[in-house]
Amino acid sequence: MRKPFICANWKMNKTANQAQKLIDELLPLVKNAKCEIAVCPPYTTLWGINDKLSGSNIALGAQNINQNASGAFTGEVSADMLREIGVDYVIIGHSERRQYYNETDETVSAKVKVALANEIKPIICVGESLAQRESDETFAVLDRQVNAALEGIVVEDAESIVFAYEPIWAIGTGKTASAQQANDAIGHIRAIIAAKLSKDAADSIRILYGGSMNEKNVKELMAMEEIDGGLIGSASLNAKQFAELVCY
């Protein structure tokens, strides 16, 4: 049985002080939640938030990781830097990283490997653009992205991996794939994992929906057989709103 997982992606929002205030508001609202919870704030807030999350039911995540251990990579953050702070999860291959910062299937694959090697659980983002969906290329895009992300990964790593299906056309637009569309896409991702690793691995890996899940549609989406949770953007920036999602 896969435990539901709701993960907040704050993107480039919240100063250090604002982030700590949000965590203070959120902690009492979700203390009895039955699902797993993580927050992925900006790098500058990670250290202070980690202290506040100690002993709570909220895990700490980062929004990106560099595939190199160290070196002349100005502006980047390495796995051991994140691990030392206490980061448990890291988002890899988010569509905004792919679109604006030249993330490729190859860099995603490298980052997944370095995260796993450093005992940080990767949340691997995959999904199609509107043009690709309208051209009936959704499954082909998912085939390519999921297979690339899992290249060189062994079955034993499956328990540490999370996928997030994020149709690019439904991120930050207010548009949402129907529950059935999301379920079908996630079911296809699970079939790819089964073929690449094993059926047991596919059955154990949690796959989140990352396309504008909110307090109004969370129950319908979470009722679907294949959807194991959500990667939440704007709705996670308000403690009450995010708590309603977590405690759906």
Give the chain's domains with CATH numbers: 5-246 (3.20.20.70)
234 alpha carbon, distance to own chain's centre: 14
pLDDT at 196 over 90: yes
State mean pLDDT over 51-75.
97
DSSP letter at 232 equals E
Using a 10 angstrom Cβ sphere, with 0-12 exposed, 13-18 middle and 19 or more buried, the burial of residue 242 is buried
Say which range, 22-36, 66-80, 161-175, has the weakest mean pLDDT.
161-175
pTM: 0.96
Residues 6+ positions from 122 with CB-CB distance below 8 Å: 89, 90, 92, 111, 112, 115, 116, 160, 161, 162
In this prediction, residue 114 has a pLDDT band, given cuts at 50, 70 and 90, of: very high
**Cβ–Cβ < 8 Å for 40, 9:** yes
Say whether 146 sits in a helix, a strand or coil: helix
Selecting among 96, 103, 166, 226, the annotated active-site residue is 166
> Average per-residue pLDDT in the chain?
95
pLDDT for position 134: 86
In this prediction, residue 174 has a pLDDT band, given cuts at 50, 70 and 90, of: low
In 3D space, the residue among 243, 245, 248 whose CA is nearest the CA of residue 31 turns out to be: 243
In 3D space, the residue among 95, 235, 214, 219 whose CA is nearest the CA of residue 165 turns out to be: 95
pLDDT at 172 over 80: no
Q: Give 24-44 pLDDT, tens digit per residue.
A: 999 999 999 999 999 999 999
pLDDT for position 214: 87
Selecting among 94, 96, 103, 226, the annotated active-site residue is 94
Say which range, 92-101, 145-154, 176-185, has the weakest mean pLDDT.
176-185
Told to judge if 94 belongs to the known catalytic residues of this protein, a careful annotator would answer yes
State mean pLDDT over 147-159.
96
